[in-house]
Amino acid sequence: MTAHIFPLRVRMGGVATSLQVAPSMPTHHHAQLIPNTYISVLETLFGFIYLVGSVVCSFVYLGILSPYVANDMWWPSFNATGAHTFVADLVNDKMSLNRLGPVDLFGVGAVVEKSYA
């Protein structure tokens, strides 16, 4: 690369001075544009396909998972309004009285005055 010299006239303290200025080399590196190669185009294409595939698989997984997380038991189509609620109420009642030991579901003390229909 050949350097071009540019004349420059400067007035300093009332005296006109003629200077010759040559451009200097850049002090920092600039990003150079690299031409697209076949490999870089393929890498970009596969990266984009991977990104789209990951997002699609995430939504499919959430669609499969949604029936299982619809209730606290992780059972699909489990109805928590009947027997499950009765057992939970009975155990909570026994725990509030600080009674230790097994809970008899069919005993006399297993009466909860509430409709579970």
Q: Sorting pLDDT into bands at 50, 70 and 90, what band is 23?
A: low
Q: List the chain domain ranges.
A: 37-66, 78-105
pLDDT digit string, tens, across residues 46-58: 999 999 999 999 9
Q: Are 116 and 82 in contact (CB under 8 A)?
A: yes
Give start and end residues of each alpha helix (H) in 1-117: 38-65, 83-96
Phi, psi of 102 (to 5 degrees): -70, 155
DSSP string covering 12-30? ETTEEEEEEE-PPPPSSPP
Please tell me the pTM assigned to this model: 0.44
Q: Would you tell me how many other CB atoms lie within 10 Å of the CB of residue 110?
A: 14
Q: Which amino acid is at 29?
A: H
